[in-house]
């Protein structure tokens, strides 16, 4: 069970790499899409200049290439994140596995007479992928290829063969084995694909409910935060039938993200299909915008006002950093982890209120698209797009912020919650992170984890250092806290998460350097 749980967490982390690429590329698409709209050109006539227009067309064309090949990006991202032995050969093998998977399904369709030769192939569940007409498995196909490659890498990277076949031994065997396994999956997937679609479709019956679906999405998404599995949940809604199936101009879109991209970036606010946007955006960024732009500052203010007077100067720096990380960078864990484990009841209230706010946004026909909730996304996809009803985010955000402020302030004082500035002993440890003294941080981390001999595999996601260890009794939480982290917890025996926020990658690099890895 422990091994299974760790694998699920690792899988969730592996999705972050392609999603991390999607976010900035999506911003470029949003800017080019907004500035290409007729109403924007009327407002800013210089946008109609042919040279300016060609620049935005070029940006859109380059960005479209990324989005049109998302499954391939997921194949490489999952292979990189899941493999432990040789990430380079895993990524290389994932590309080959993905190509083989696509062509084998094409061969299956052709030989069974199921290849659609006339009409709209999308309606029949097929798609053109890298010039291959195949079963439309979308991102799921990329994930399968990535998992195949990572498994083959870790199992066969040191495969030994008889001398006559020695050239194909070791790492060179991994791509060949990956392609062989991909052939098997390519022959199997078409048989059970309809049943998998039916499963996701049954989930969509609940998730697409205007009220129940929003509550489930809002609460479950937040409750999965401590396990790092919210990325898996989000991917399911974005790329599978669980997020809905939508028909736009005769083309079928699976999951809300592709449908939203088509309307947002290609059809625009004047399209008849813009009326679908509130259905699509209720799973996306607008809920995160309320959280990051309004709720988080309110939580931070409540924490600051309830901090002991002698500790407020110290608390202010940590709180401002945590709030700004979400406001500008869409990273919520640093602030959430300051109260998640010490006040789980408060975290549940926070999650439920967020879900209720999402319901309000939906019924107010809010149509602010995309996947991130930063101030930049709010301006680009909200303020700059006509008919987005972005003002609803401000209205709901202000109401939620007021409620959250008073609830948090009362709860913290009533139950004496040790939020920043209310700890038994105050310190200035976060200065190590803010001043980027990563060598000192790494030294404290290694000592706090019981020394190099007690440390196993070291990884990181966007906000957390994730470390396997041998003996829990050797771990010193006080030293870890002194390193400047904002939270420590144990998702499973033998595994620890230490939360540093967006600087965690530099902490991990410094730890690796000092461990000689």
Catalytic residues: 461
Torsional sign, CA 264, 30, 63, 238: negative
What span, in angstroms and rounded, lies between the C-alpha atoms of 448 and 450? 5
Would you say 389 and 366 are in contact if contact means Cβ atoms under 8 Å apart?
A: yes
What span, in angstroms and rounded, lies between the C-alpha atoms of 283 and 277? 11
Cα pseudo-dihedral 7, 13, 15, 19, rounded to 10: 170
All residues at 6 or more sequence positions from 516 whose CB lies less than 8 Å from its CB, including other chains? none
Tokens of 186: 């390519």
Would you say 490 and 428 are in contact if contact means Cβ atoms under 8 Å apart?
A: no
* Phi, psi for 311 (deg, rounded to 5): -105, 0
Would you say 483 and 429 are in contact if contact means Cβ atoms under 8 Å apart?
A: yes
Residue 182 Cα to chain centre, angstroms: 26
Which SS3 state, helix, strand or coil, does residue 117 take?
coil
Would you say 433 and 441 are in contact if contact means Cβ atoms under 8 Å apart?
A: yes
């Amino acid at each position: 069970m422990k091994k299974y749980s760790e694998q699920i967490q690792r899988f969730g982390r592996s999705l972050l790499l392609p999603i991390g690429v999607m976010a900035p590329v999506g911003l470029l698409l949003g800017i080019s899409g907004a500035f290409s709209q007729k109403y924007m050109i009327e407002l800013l006539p210089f946008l109609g200049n042919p040279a300016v227009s060609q620049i935005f067309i070029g940006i859109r064309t380059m960005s479209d290439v990324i989005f049109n090949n998302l499954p391939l990006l997921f194949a490489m991202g999952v292979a990189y994140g899941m493999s432990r032995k040789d990430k380079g050969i895993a990524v290389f093998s994932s590309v080959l596995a993905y190509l083989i998977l696509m062509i084998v399904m094409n061969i299956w369709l052709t030989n069974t007479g199921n290849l659609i030769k006339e009409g709209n192939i999308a309606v029949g569940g097929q798609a053109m992928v890298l010039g291959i007409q195949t079963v439309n498995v979308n991102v799921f196909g990329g994930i399968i290829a990535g998992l195949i490659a990572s498994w083959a890498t870790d199992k066969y990277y040191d495969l030994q063969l008889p001398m006559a076949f020695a050239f194909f031994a070791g790492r060179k065997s991994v791509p060949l084995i990956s392609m062989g396994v991909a052939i098997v999956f390519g022959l199997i997937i078409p048989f059970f694909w309809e049943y998998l679609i039916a499963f996701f479709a049954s989930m969509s019956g609940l998730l697409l409910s205007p009220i129940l679906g929003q509550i489930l999405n809002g609460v479950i998404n937040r409750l999965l935060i401590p396990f790092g599995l919210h990325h898996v949940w989000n991917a399911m809604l974005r790329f599978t039938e669980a997020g809905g199936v939508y028909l736009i101009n005769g083309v079928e879109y699976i999951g809300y993200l592709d449908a939203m991209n088509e309307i947002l970036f290609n059809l625009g606010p004047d399209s008849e299909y813009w009326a679908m946007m509130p259905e699509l955006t209720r799973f996306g960024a607008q809920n995160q915008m309320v959280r990051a732009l309004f709720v988080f500052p309110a939580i931070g203010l409540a924490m600051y006002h309830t901090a002991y007077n002698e500790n407020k100067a110290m608390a202010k720096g940590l709180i401002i950093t945590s709030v700004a990380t979400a406001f500008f960078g869409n990273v919520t864990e640093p602030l959430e982890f300051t109260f998640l484990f010490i006040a789980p009841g408060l975290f549940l209230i926070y999650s439920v209120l967020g879900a209720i706010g999402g319901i309000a946004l939906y019924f107010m026909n809010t149509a602010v698209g995309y996947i991130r909730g930063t101030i930049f996304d709010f301006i680009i996809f909200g303020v700059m797009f006509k008919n987005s009803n972005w003002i609803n985010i401000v209205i709901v955000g202000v109401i939620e912020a007021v409620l959250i402020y008073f609830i948090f302030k009362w709860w913290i004082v009533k139950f004496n919650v040790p939020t920043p500035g209310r700890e038994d002993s105050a310190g200035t440890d976060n200065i190590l992170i803010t001043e980027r003294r990563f060598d000192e941080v790494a030294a404290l981390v290694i000592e706090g984890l019981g020394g190099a001999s007690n440390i196993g595999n070291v990884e990181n996601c966007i906000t957390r250092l994730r470390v396997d260890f041998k003996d829990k009794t050797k771990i010193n939480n006080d030293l870890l806290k002194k390193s400047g982290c904002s939270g420590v917890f144990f998702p499973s025996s033998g595994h620890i998460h230490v939360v540093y926020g967006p600087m965690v990658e530099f902490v991990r690099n410094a730890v690796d350097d000092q461990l000689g890895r």
